[in-house]
Amino acid sequence: MTKGYLDYQSASPVDPRVVEAMIPHMTEHFGNPSILFRSDGDSARQALEDARGQVARFVGADPSEIVFTSGATEANNMALKGVALKLQSKGKHIISSVVEHRSVVTPLKYLERLGFEVTSLPVDEIEHVRQVIQYYCVRWMIEVFFRVLKSGCRVEERRFEHIDRLLSCLAVYLIVAWRTLYVCRVGRGCPDISCEAVFEPAEWKSVWNVIHRTTPPSVPPRLGEMVRLVAQLGGYVNRKHCDPPGPQTIWLGLQRMHDFALSWQLFGPDARAGPKLV
């Protein structure tokens, strides 16, 4: 009888490439990366910071936002307790499900003892399951949206003398964040539609010309292809088997695309002939 293992989310074998990369740090460069004085911990510290930078680039975050923990239990406790206690003035109602892992259930019980209200949604029927999945999908999109607002637009770094100026700035950045996330999600969900469903002719033609150094095709390319080209302007490595681009590279690419599109409209082949200076 063939056995199947269906709990990879809980525990899974280590990828051989990870084992190969970690062996030197478990046998030779095993120093404490947090030690105060210079020692063998220097190489461990450098490896840790390199890994932090790689993860940050992969998820579109700043390296200072990446915190390594010992595992899911510590991470779940840190996230649930930290966020709930920091934002308790805005609400103390937490929605969960009855099938959460113990590392989630235990901190939720702790928060209940502190006065938080915890609702555990049932999953006894298929409709219950679909509802919970829908909740999680909506929550995830909200998290991605605010990550774009924070890491892409860097709205927290803006400093103004008056709140009304900040609110005006925030209103503009909310539109920018929505546009960035829209391009990212539609490019993944509908990659085969025409790129003109999202981009103006001057936008996609100018980007095509800059990336390929050739005349744009007469037929607009697919949206998925065009999103990758835009993200390439923002630092995305556009290879055949790479994952689709994330919000950060798309956000940076859209900024450059705007400049190229304006130049295309003014000086490109489609520009209207204006009065000549003599």
User: Which residues lie across from 51 on neighbouring strands?
Assistant: none
Q: Tell me how far apart the alpha carbons of residues 243 and 36 are, in angstroms, rounded to a whole number.
A: 39
Max CA pair span of the chain: 88
Per-residue pLDDT tens listing for the chain (278 residues): 788 887 777 788 888 998 998 898 888 877 888 776 666 678 888 888 999 998 888 877 788 889 999 888 999 999 999 999 998 888 888 988 888 889 999 999 999 999 999 988 888 888 888 888 888 788 778 888 887 787 767 777 778 878 888 888 888 888 988 888 899 889 989 999 999 999 999 999 999 999 999 999 999 999 999 999 999 999 888 887 778 888 888 988 999 999 999 999 998 887 765 545 44
pLDDT on residue 108: 94
> Is residue 219 classed exposed, middle or buried when 0-12, 13-18 and 19+ CB atoms within 10 A define those classes?
exposed
> Is residue 43 classed exposed, middle or buried when 0-12, 13-18 and 19+ CB atoms within 10 A define those classes?
middle
pLDDT in tens, 247-260: 888 988 999 999 99
pTM for the full predicted model:
0.57
Residue 69: phi and psi, rounded to 5, are -120, 175
pLDDT in tens, 134-188: 887 887 788 888 877 877 677 777 788 788 888 888 888 889 888 888 998 899 8
Q: Tell me how far apart the alpha carbons of residues 206 and 191 are, in angstroms, rounded to a whole number.
A: 20
Q: Tell me how far apart the alpha carbons of residues 224 and 197 are, in angstroms, rounded to a whole number.
A: 11
Q: Tell me how far apart the alpha carbons of residues 84 and 115 are, in angstroms, rounded to a whole number.
A: 11
pLDDT on residue 119: 87
